[in-house]
Amino acid sequence: MADKKYTLPDLPYDYKALEPYISEAQLRLHHDKHHAAYVNGANALLERLEKARQAGSEVDMKATLKELSFQAGGHVLHSLFWANLAPAAKAGKEPGGAVAEVLKKEFGSLERFKKEFSAAAASTEGSGWAALAWCGLTGRPMIMQIEKHNVNVYPMFRILMVLDVWEHAYYLDYRNERAKFVEAFWSLVNWDEVGRRLEAATK
């Protein structure tokens, strides 16, 4: 299995496609540099573990696995993030079908859901994410704050939608005004993709 590695996914749209909400320069930096760094970091750690196994040598498992969780988590969350965005012409509309039903049932209205999700994104401490997930234990949607990449990810939860609120996700376009980036996010949400993830999570 040593030949199996993580790969950086292509974006499902052009680098200019998310403008004016996310600029080409911001998107290239985020995808080509930051996301790629997590892919490379995870692969380097897998290689380190493989070499240690072949040599019969010891590694600091606690530190190595914590770092691998961080790097692999960054890769997984970014991959989800790119797919739950779409050009404004194809996104930003209100969700329909099952997504609209579960959000209205849980939060009372789409507006209330957006308010709570935006507050979660704006108040995530340091570097992290806001996520909408589906709890398989209760059959309910839940908003989560994911600090860094590798903590506060609950068991039995399928992620439906994520928003990256690390500064590297928005600083070129919005400087330190995270709230403006969060507001812009709603013009780019690919609700069709959120719906596909919900369908898979509830099967």
Domain ranges of the chain: 24-83, 97-202
- pLDDT of amino acid 154: 60
What number does CATH give the domain 24-83?
A: 1.10.287.990
97-202 folds as minor pseudopilin epsh fold (3.55.40)
Give strand pairing partners of 85.
Answer: 189
| DSSP tag of 98 | H
Do domains 24-83 and 97-202 share one topology? The answer is no
What is the pLDDT confidence band of residue 89, given thresholds at 50, 70 and 90? confident
Q: What is the pLDDT of residue 150?
A: 67
User: What angle do helix axes 36-55 and 61-83 make, rounded to 10 degrees?
Assistant: 150
Mean pLDDT of the chain: 94
Strand blocks (E) in the chain? 128-135, 140-147, 157-164
Q: Return the residue matching tokens 């019969």.
A: 56
Residues 151-199 pLDDT 10s: 545 667 899 999 999 999 999 999 999 999 999 999 999 999 999 999 9
CA distances from 73 to 15, 55, 109, 137, 149 (A): 23, 27, 31, 22, 5
Task: Give Cβ neighbours of residue 91 (< 8 Å, ≥ 6 apart).
Answer: 85, 187, 188, 189, 190, 191
DSSP states along 114-134? HHHHHHHHHH--SSEEEEEEE
Indicate the pLDDT class of residue 92, thresholds 50, 70 and 90: confident
What pLDDT was estimated at residue 3? Answer: 75
Helix (H, G, I), strand (E, B) or coil at 164: strand
CA angle at residue 162 from 29 to 6, to 5 degrees? 60
Cα torsion 113, 127, 70, 184: sign: positive
Global pTM exceeds 0.85? yes
- Residues 41 and 46: their CA atoms lie apart, in Å, by 9
